[in-house]
């Protein structure tokens, strides 16, 4: 009976750590994508905005 309880707890622990790893990897990828999209957007806005001096 003790072996069954230990196996169940180990299985749940493995599942929790696996889910944590997947979520952490997913959020890291989203953070990378957001930073890259922000750079592209700011670059596009800077190229569209041109300040002409008044003569």
Q: What is the pLDDT of residues 43-55, one digit of tens each?
A: 877 777 656 656 5
What is the per-residue pLDDT for 46?
A: 78
Q: Could you report the per-residue pLDDT of 1-31, keeping only the tens digit for each?
A: 999 999 999 999 999 999 999 999 999 999 9
5-14 in b/e burial notation, b at 16+ Cβ within 10 A? eeeeeeeeee
**pTM reported for the whole predicted model:** 0.58
Distances (CA, A) of 5 to 13, 19, 27, 46: 12, 21, 33, 61
């Amino acid at each position: 009976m003790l072996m069954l309880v230990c196996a169940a707890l180990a299985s749940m622990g493995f599942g929790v750590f696996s889910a944590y790893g997947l979520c952490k990897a997913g959020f890291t990828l989203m953070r990378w994508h957001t930073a890259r999209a922000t750079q592209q957007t700011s670059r596009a806005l800077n190229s569209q905005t041109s300040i002409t001096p008044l003569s």
